[in-house]
Structure 1
Amino acid sequence: MLLNEWKEEKETLQLVSQILGKHKLATAFQEPQWAHVVLDITAQGFSTGLLHFEDKHYQIDVNLLQHKIIVIVEDGVHEISLQDGTTIKSYYLQIKEFLKEHGVHPEINTKPQEMSITIPFEQDETHHHYNENSAQAALRLMQIAYRAESAFINPLRARKVKPGLFWGTFDVSCILLYNEHVPFPDPSKVIERAAFDESMIEFGFWFGDDKFEGPTFFVLPYPFANRNFECTHHFPEGSYYDESMAEFILPLNDLSTDHAQILKQFFTASYESFKDYLEWENCEHYHKPLSMEENKAVKDLQK
């Protein structure tokens, strides 16, 4: 699934995710690393999860198998078809009007974040691309990333941001945190100063960009690394370190097999390298086995 094969559809879908994300940004209780704005990956797409506005509860889902946006309030449900030709302006206004009719009207900043696109949602008639096959393939990749990241990070006895869709950069990521405050060097950068203010390692997936032509996994430390790293024999085949990005990289070229074991190996090897670089101490506790019988998810991963 090369990016140039669905670039317009990907941009439109990301903008849809940003509409959902802006609602979380406005209404969810705040957390470090912007964890409160991350969208949930679901069986059929992605979702805001439960949101609260004044005395109302609501939720917005994007269903990429049935190709619709579902807006849910306490006393009603509204479905909006995802289809080629429908603009971001139309999606945004339909969501806004239905919520307003039911007493839900949070103030949101309608300008996209962390994108080169700057058209406010209510004016955007440029982005109107949708392809059902591409949407389903994108969901499959999100779910692969979610499962692999969960398999790695869930058992760790440490502070974490669990896997979800970061809509600003449209990646599925999770974060392992170390209890050390490290303020971002440029406080004028509103997003970065909140995202990067503790020692951490991020494990993620994105669909590609101008440098990477297709689906790619990455691991990034903060504070950012300023030297090169070697991919030892502990890394799976195909892994490499990109010094310009300060990230370990693993392209995903084959979707025909289960990647959970390979990706757990990649995440583990990257973690060990960056943990030593960041001089994290007393991390043995992270890896103490859980005091519970292994369930099917864990056993299946070990096959």
Structure 2
Amino acid sequence: MEKRILDYTDWQDTADTLHLFLQMAGKVKVERSNKRPGWAHVRLPLSIDGIGTGIIPAGGFSFEIYFNLRKHHVDVQNTDGGKSRIPLGDGLSVAGFHSQLMAALDYIGAPTEINTTPQEFYDQTPFDEDTKHHSWDRQAVEAYLENLHFAYRCLSRFLSPFRGKVDMPEFWFGTMDLSGSVFAGQAAPYSGTDVVGVNCFDEKFVEYGFWPGDVKMSQPAFFGMPYPFFSGIESYASMLKPDRAEFRPQMSEFILTLEDAFSYPDPEQAVVDMCQSSFEIVQRMDRWADLEWIIEPLTYPASAQR
């Protein structure tokens, strides 16, 4: 793959526009999907060509919203053959996309009212009023997709062997990250009152993911976020690998930037090492009750022996 690193500041206008477009599709899924623990029902699956909602129920039929980030269009289609396409290009504003998306949903028989306030985004301008975000750098979008594919390979390699409840990597439209989690199966009540946190942080887990940077941290990076949160790992810092990975107390997260990952001879292994070593540190600080079973190796035979 081309090792192109997109610092958020270099493509912020396009990144924000794409982010807000995806938020609208995600909010449609929120309104219509059957609810699952930990907001699992709002995650958007990654595909070879882009990001989609997956199947959304709509009474007697189903539909999906799919962003093709190679051909730069959005398809809104249902199981009865109805289909509407929205071209993506420079100049299409968030407000313009909102209007076209709502019209496309009407056309396929799935009109859906959504909360038009952006989720977990620094600019709270309602979608239907936002005309300032309208940039579309095709090359940057395609490079971002390639980085998501790299992240998927790394994260799925690490997460796949765990037993018990595991979420494989998918896209979170609120924070624009691709992530998955491994869960302890132990309750861990959340002390906050915000609706996102109350319905997310209710059991011990560690989330592993990749995000493209934002207004607070412009470098795209891989992260490991344990819950319950903690602020320091001083006694176990020497366990963290590879050598450029770090724990950032202000974020309560383990971090390996994409640039640092690409600096190693085997970038994928570097990301896996960060995930594995940080998971081991978490277990040193707060060992899970059923850890032995959760990490028990799988017994599938080698492919040549099947």
Q: TM-score, normalization: structure 1?
A: 0.92
1:84 correspondence with 2:90: yes
Letter in 2 for 1:215: P
TM-score by length of 2: 0.91
Unmatched 5+ residue regions in structure 2?
A: 1-5
Q: Which amino acid aligns with 1:290?
A: L
Tell me which amino acid in the other structure corresponds to 2:241.
F
Q: How does 1:237-252 map to 2 (within 5 A)?
A: 237-252=243-258
Change (3 A) 1:121 1:258: farther
**Is the CA contact (8 Å cut-off) linking 2:83 and 2:108 kept in structure 1?**
no
Residues 95-120 of structure 1 deviation map (CA, whole Å, 9 limit, x = unaligned): 21122123211232121111122122
How far apart are residue 76 of structure 1 and its match?
Answer: 2.0
Work out the CA distance in 1 between the residues paired with 2:55 and 2:237: 41
- Between the two proteins, what is the percent identity of the paired residues? 31
RMSD over aligned Cα, in angstroms?
1.8
| Aligned-partner SS, 2:238 | coil
Count of equivalent residues = 295
Cα distance change of structure 1 residues 295 and 119 upon mapping to structure 2, 3 Å threshold: farther
Secondary structure of 1:218's counterpart equals strand
- In the alignment, the residues of structure 2 paired with residue 186 and residue 9 of structure 1 have an alpha-carbon distance, to the nearest angstrom, of 33
> Are 1:182 and 2:188 counterparts?
yes
Kindly indicate whether the alpha-carbon contact (under 8 Å) linking 1:144 and 1:259 is maintained by their aligned counterparts in 2. no
Write out aligned runs for 1:133-212 (5 A): 133-187=139-193, 189-212=194-217
Q: Determine the structure 1 residue equivalent to 2:60.
A: 55
The residue type paired with residue 274 of structure 2 is F
Which residue is equivalent to 1:32? 37
Structure 1 residue runs without a partner (length 5+): 297-303
Q: Which amino acid aligns with 1:293?
A: P
Q: Match of 1:118, as an amino acid?
A: Q
More moved, 87-96 vs 7-16: 87-96
| 2:291 corresponds to | 283
Q: After superposing the two structures, state which structure 1 stretch, 116-125 or 267-276, moved more.
A: 116-125
How far off its partner does 1:208 sit? 1.4
Per-residue CA deviations over 1:20-56 (Å, capped at 9, x if unaligned) read 1101111111111111101111101100011111112
- For 1:70, what is the secondary structure of its paired residue? strand
Q: Distance in 1 between matches of 2:214 and 2:302?
A: 38
Q: What residue is the counterpart of 1:115 in the other structure?
A: 121
Q: Does 1:271 align with 2:279?
A: yes
Other structure's SS at 1:191 match: helix
